[in-house]
Structure 1
């Protein structure tokens, strides 16, 4: 493992993420949104997350900026980062496949929206967030730069903690007792964490 290969793996992660999401984004646009939490806060959170998981690390990969934050490359960490990247993409794909047309980049409820509790959702309520946490860890391990490497943990962390409570309230308002029962038997991000 070399620094160049590590960067290529990170770019591959970003490209694969886009390819997975593109197909499902096109499908979900056909379903009418009946309720949404879109607004300035949601937009700001999404932009912060995009900056941390995409813009800052891709700037680093392309230019080496910010150079002052670089530290020594460790192949073992990059190999571990590759493992987390594969896990993130697997989780990301399974989440999109299970959600189908219910998927949305924002907090939206679509016409004919149903509570998905099968597949990856059998044990985890928010596996999409799990996938992004795995991505953020992969980024920190693949990119030996204190800012670019850890920007994903910070950027996505801000989105996660700014959004998760609102998302769960939206699901409770939409699905009521069914969602309450689902919450009782699943972990929020990982099976054992509620």
Structure 2
């Protein structure tokens, strides 16, 4: 238990430094902009809490580990790109007053996405590892948010990152980052569903028929 706490603490510290790396080196003035610093603080907080409550698994990851590592290595760019767009493009096509409104809306989406992500992780319990695996005593979770959609964790991540970029006026960044992020999650969802069908068979097929994959009532 002590070893796990130490590993998680190191992971959180490393993530915070890595996610803020470019801001610390090249653009520390960001910490003076209220809506953006709120969004950045919330992003750091949500990711830190998610790592802290996320269970670990000794099982072999069934997803592509290389893509997961690449995603992590791109975190500083994902964090900084909306700010770069804000500094160089955003005010060319929207007014300052409109930007302030959009920034607040973005922060709201960050909060909503963070709540969805963390609640989903808690409701999934010990089956909520970052790996795509089946545990020895794996159970199908269909209560809480999982009663309505099968992948609320991914919905939380996408909503969270959408809000973060939107709060910076990073409209192009949304397309550049959320598109590959969605494709990454889609690949993981497909692998997870195949594993769950192989384990739960008709029970999971029935669950699929009465729920949506990612967005309630839509997809």
- TM-score tier (shorter): 0.7 to 0.9
Aligned partner of 1:71 in structure 2 is 90
Larger helix fraction of residues: 2
Shift of 1:156: 1.2
Q: CA RMSD in A?
A: 2.7
After superposition, the Cα gap between the structure-2 partners of 1:66 and 1:86, relative to the gap in structure 1 and judged at 3 Å, is: closer
Q: Secondary structure at the match of 2:134?
A: strand
Aligned partner of 2:37 in structure 1 is 8
Consecutive unaligned residues in structure 1, runs of 5 or more: none
Aligned partner of 1:119 in structure 2 is 144
Deviates more, 1:86-95 or 1:141-150: 141-150
In 1, are the aligned partners of 2:86 and 2:168 still within 8 Å (CA)? no
Q: Does 1:134 align with 2:163?
A: no
41, 48, 59: which one pairs with 1:19?
48
Within 2, Cα distance between the matches of 1:110 and 1:9? 37
Q: Does 1:87 align with 2:112?
A: yes
Within 1, Cα distance between the matches of 2:42 and 2:157? 11
After superposition, the Cα gap between the structure-2 partners of 1:181 and 1:149, relative to the gap in structure 1 and judged at 3 Å, is: closer
After superposition, the Cα gap between the structure-2 partners of 1:146 and 1:80, relative to the gap in structure 1 and judged at 3 Å, is: closer
Shift of 1:43: 2.2
Q: TM-score, normalised by structure 2?
A: 0.72
Bigger RCO (CA 8 Å, 6+ sep): 1
Spell out the pairing of 1:45-56 with structure 2 (5 A cutoff).
45-50=67-72, 54-56=75-77
Consecutive unaligned residues in structure 2, runs of 5 or more: 1-31
Aligned partner of 2:66 in structure 1 is 44
After superposition, the Cα gap between the structure-2 partners of 1:162 and 1:48, relative to the gap in structure 1 and judged at 3 Å, is: farther
Within 2, Cα distance between the matches of 1:145 and 1:119? 32
Within 1, Cα distance between the matches of 2:44 and 2:86? 24
